[in-house]
Amino acid sequence: MADAVARDLRIPATTRRMGGRRPLINRKSMVAFFFALPLILIVACLVVYPALYSMHLATLNKSMTKFVGFGNFEFLFRRSTFWMVVEQSLLFAVTAVIFKAVVGFIVAHFVHNLPAKGQRKWRGMLMVSWVIPTAMSTVTWFWLFDPDYSALNYLLKAVGLTGIPWLSSPNWARFCVILVNVWYGAPFFMIMYLAALKSVPEQLYEAAAIDGASWWQRLWYVTLPMMRNIISITVLFSLIVTFANFDIVRILTSGGPLDQTQIFATYAFRVGIESNDIPLGASVSLFMVPILAVAAIFILRDVNKRGNES
């Protein structure tokens, strides 16, 4: 009867078929939603609720009994130590991400050009530093940099050189925390870039070689354009994780010497937990949000623009 009515009304056959599929599509969408519901609830409990609660805490006084609005932020803005923390956080995050991206890119090309049989072994070995728990590997680095029993200084003295104050000099302490972060995070860049390199069609390289392109021209005009989206997303993710890094700086320097290596996470812990001013610590943590939001907007807008162009 429905088919007869549809024919009388001259409804196209494709429209009738789509009308019959809509309930099935809606049913599949509901099933997919219910499958994703546990993950949505976990994210809401572990991410959304703590974020909203930290915003609430940032508006309270030290005893958390009185609403002070933006008073905690005004107090931070008047402290020179806070602006030093902002500067140190930007220096730490941007420098570490740049070096991780460069090292990961170089190592990814090295592994990509290996014979297929040897790639799995090298990938496994190069991922070790990323797989080991950060706290455990950082303790090992602390032993290497220890001012009294430094293995690196022992080697330097063995060849007639003087020891280096790795963790007691501000500049060397910054170098150490950035070095350890690069050592830990570069394998993540390597594996992401390696996956991107595998997706670049070999025909593009063959065409470039036929046109007489050098290795640098192939890299600049073929490899990098094909990898730009992966590079952008990886940099954004690493920037967020590096800004929120806590354990490396806490174990190596605890923010010293003289707060010269304090970053957002360690400074928030210091004022919030050690100084028992949780609202002020929440305010320090929230200050990362606008910085990361600006970076995310620019990076994702660039990725979206390239996606529309392609």
Angle at 75 between CA 69 and CA 77, to 5 degrees: 110
Q: Which residues make Cβ contacts (< 8 Å) with residue 15, sequence separation at least 6?
A: none
Which has the higher per-residue pLDDT, 308 or 275? 275
Q: From CA 68, how far away is CA 64, in angstroms rounded? A: 10
CA distance 171 to 87: 14
- 116, pLDDT greater than 80: no
Task: List the structure tokens of 224.
Answer: 């990098």
CB 244 within 8 A of CB 16: no
Which amino acid, residue 208? A
| Mean pLDDT on 206-220 | 86
Q: How confident is the model at residue 20 (pLDDT cuts 50, 70, 90)?
A: low
What is the helix (H) or strand (E) element at residue 169, kind and residue range? Answer: none
pLDDT at 2: 44
- Using 50, 70 and 90 to split pLDDT, how confident is the model at 6? very low
Secondary structure element (H or E) that encloses residue 222, with its range: none
Question: What is the band of 94 on the pLDDT scale with cuts at 50, 70, 90?
Answer: very high
- Is pLDDT of 13 > 60? no
Does residue 257 contact residue 170 with C-beta atoms inside 8 Å? Answer: yes
